[in-house]
Amino acid sequence: MAHSRRVAMVTEACGIGRAIALRLAKDGFNIVINDLSRAAETQKVIEDIEAFHPTLSSKKQLPVRSIAVQGDASKIADGRRLLYETITAFGRLDILVFNAAWAKQASIRELGEELFAKAIDTNVKGPLFLSKMAQPYLEKAQREGDAVKDGGSPVGGSRIINISSTVATMSDALDRMLLYSISKGGLDQITRVLARDPDFGGKGINVNAVAPGPVDTDSLKDLPLRMLSMLANSSPQKRLGRVDDIADVVSFLASNDSRWVNGHKINASGASSV
């Protein structure tokens, strides 16, 4: 039986999500990239994957493929369609990386029901229900991975990797990070509970999280230089995180080397928050 490539789904096509998609493609995964509205950025990810994995390949190795699926991963109907497009294109799903996030800053004085719902829908509801709907496909891929041996070792297992944040556990979190921090805290607890759930961790589907600190992405571009300097100086290396710093951690969690890592949140902040 020919080995089909493992498939990774990554939500959000810019910044950290883009870096994760490119890194997992380099690792040999077929990629499903999802974004709500960034059609140009999503297409650029597809083109960049094709640039270093050309369509023509050797007879011994299938080419890496990638597709883009537009939709709001916080909505159950869109999540169901995202999975349908994935299975239609590739017939399997091995890795789910939930990177989409809503990070609007608001203190409790500015808090309204609409802002609260948006934060919880994007950072908690979306990952929870997409994980629930993806479970049968992840379990099937896990069973197939256990059955197929490559040099005496499993080719890899199914994974859910949630992109969290260090602000979820910071004792000195800013008041304007209220919604972001409590919703990412909810995501952390989803990670822990599913890791021990009989239908996830119990079936070999490892569930982990990565918690970046300040990362040099477009989300920081409007901050004043004084604030950027303060964020960079919070790390002992005196720099902001880079998107590849986070993508490399995700690459490890997606690999067979992480087979005994489950229910863990990896702090990838360069010690800016410990």
The pLDDT tens digits for 166-193 are 988 876 667 778 898 999 999 999 999 9
Higher pLDDT, 80 or 153: 80
Residue 13: inside a domain: yes
pLDDT above 90 covers a percentage of the chain that reads: 61
Output phi, psi for 48, to 5 deg.
-70, -35
Could you tell me if residue 1 is inside a domain?
no
> Which residues span the domain enclosing 13?
7-268
Q: Is residue 274 assigned to a domain?
A: no
Lowest-pLDDT range of 10-14, 31-35, 73-77, 216-220: 216-220
Evaluate whether 210 touches 250 at the Cβ level (below 8 Å).
yes
Please report, in angstroms and rounded to a whole number, the separation of the first and last CA atoms in the chain. 47
Cα–Cα distance, 173 to 157 (Å, whole number): 35
Residue type present at position 92: R
**pLDDT for position 173:** 65
Q: How many domains does the chain have?
A: 1
Residue 273 included in any domain: no
Q: Mean pLDDT throughout 110-122?
A: 93
Among the options 98, 137, 180, 200, which is catalytic?
180
How many CB atoms lie under 10 A from the CB of residue 274? 9
Predicted confidence (pLDDT) at residue 58 exceeds the cutoff of 60: no
Question: Is residue 225 scored above 80 in pLDDT?
Answer: yes
| Number of helices and strands in the chain (H, E) | 8, 9
Pick left, alpha or beta for residue 91 (phi over 0 → left; psi -120 to 50 → alpha; otherwise beta): left
Say what the pLDDT of residue 59 is: 46
Asked if residue 156 lies in contact with residue 256, where contact means CB atoms within 8 angstroms, the answer is yes
Residue 118 lies in a domain: yes
Instruction: Locate 247 and state its tokens.
Output: 């993508």
Annotated active-site residue 180? The verdict is yes
Q: Which of 100, 126, 132, 102 is nearest to 21 (CA)?
A: 100
Query: Per mean pLDDT, which of 36-40, 150-154, 181-185 is the most reliable?
Result: 181-185
Name the residue among 118, 125, 101, 130 with its Cα closest to residue 32: 130
Q: Is residue 222 part of a domain?
A: yes
The average confidence (pLDDT) of the chain is: 89
The pLDDT value recorded for residue 272 is: 87
Mean pLDDT of 191-211: 98
Continuous H helices in the chain: 15-26, 39-52, 76-90, 113-120, 126-147, 178-196, 225-233, 243-254
Asked if 160 and 207 count as a contact pair (C-beta separation under 8 A), the reply is yes
- C-beta neighbour count of 47 within 10 angstroms: 10
Q: Please, which residues bridge with residue 150 across strands? A: 153
Confidence bin at 161 (pLDDT 50/70/90) = very high
Burial class (CB in 10 A: 0-12, 13-18, 19+), 249: buried
Residue 2, domain member (yes or no): no
Q: What is the CATH number of the domain that holds 37?
A: 3.40.50.720
Does 160 reside within a domain?
Answer: yes
